[in-house]
Amino acid sequence: MKLVIAVIQDEDATDVVSSLNDAGFQITRLATKGGFLRAGNTTLMTGVADEKLDEALKIIEENSRMRVQQTTMPSSIGAMHGFLLAPVEVNVGGATVFVLDMEQFHKF
pLDDT digit string (tens) for 15-28? Answer: 999 999 999 999 99
CA separation for the pair 49, 46 (Å, rounded) = 10
How many domains does the structure of the chain reveal?
A: 1
107, part of any domain: no
9, part of any domain: yes
pLDDT digit string (tens) for 50-96? Answer: 999 999 999 999 999 877 766 666 555 555 555 556 676 666 667 99
What does pTM read for this prediction?
A: 0.75
Domain, as residue range, for 18: 2-101
Residue 12 belongs to a domain with what CATH number?
Answer: 3.30.70.120
53, part of any domain: yes
106, part of any domain: no
Identify each DSSP E strand in 11-94 by its residue range: 28-33, 40-48, 66-75, 84-93
92, part of any domain: yes
